[in-house]
Amino acid sequence: MPTTTGMKTGGFYDAHSSTQRAALEAFLPWLEETIAEHFPPVEGRPIGLLDLGSSEGANAIRAMSRLIQALRRKTGAPIWLFFDDLPTNDFNRLFWNLYPEGAAALPWEDVYAAAVAGSAFGRVLPDASFQLATTYNAIGFLGTFPQSPLPSYILPMPPGAPKSSTRYTGKWQIAYRPIRLVTTFAASPSACC
């Protein structure tokens, strides 16, 4: 699997990712609403949430906290959180962010966290092990065009009118045409991912 040498470690990404946090904050209300209106009940089995491109975790943990709150309004089922990034990621910092000063950053009952090393462009978890996957900014590091469209994203800019300084071809527009996010929840949880 191709990987990068990784970012600076020791909290550098967390300290310099306010733009990334702003992007995820813009999307979180949509995900919370989608969970409230469309997430199927899965009582009796764990719910899996996967974040692709978690880096050192400060932003990913903040996002997962909000999603856990939305899920807890619907169910008390156990929740698995999977934080994924390249094998060169600073996973020590991710775990420190999950347990700062020894206390859980996500203090709910029946919430379990795990780190997964692997490329978002390959399989990182087995079939039917999660019901919702998120990635907020890692998608900007694509090496090739996707084989299928990606939800609500046009590279290389956020949703909205193109910036005058941005150039992209019609091919990019087609490859990244928006899809309704809620279609992800149309399948049964066992059929997902």
Identify whether 1 is part of a domain.
Answer: no
- List the one residue out of 102, 55, 44, 29 whose CA is nearest residue 77: 44
- What is the total count of domains within the chain? 1
Identify whether 79 is part of a domain.
Answer: yes
pLDDT at 143: 56
Q: Is the whole model's pTM more than 0.95, yes or no?
A: no
Single-letter amino acid code for the residue at 106: L
Place of tokens 């087609």: 174
Identify whether 173 is part of a domain.
Answer: no
Single-letter amino acid code for the residue at 80: W
Average pLDDT, the chain: 75
Structural domain boundaries, residue 77: 12-146
pLDDT in tens, 129-188: 888 888 876 555 555 555 655 444 444 444 444 455 445 556 655 555 544 333 333 333
Q: Which tokens is 63 given?
A: 């996002």
User: What CATH number does the domain containing 33 carry?
Assistant: 3.40.50.150
Q: CA dihedral in degrees (73, 186, 34, 113; nearest 10)?
A: 60
Identify whether 55 is part of a domain.
Answer: yes
Q: Which tokens is 60 given?
A: 């990913």
pLDDT in tens, 79-113: 999 999 988 889 999 999 999 998 999 999 999 99
- pLDDT grade for 19, boundaries at 50, 70 and 90: confident
Identify whether 65 is part of a domain.
Answer: yes
* Cα–Cα distances in angstroms (integers) from residue 46 to residues 80, 129, 193, in the given order: 7, 9, 15
For residue 44, the 8-state DSSP code is T
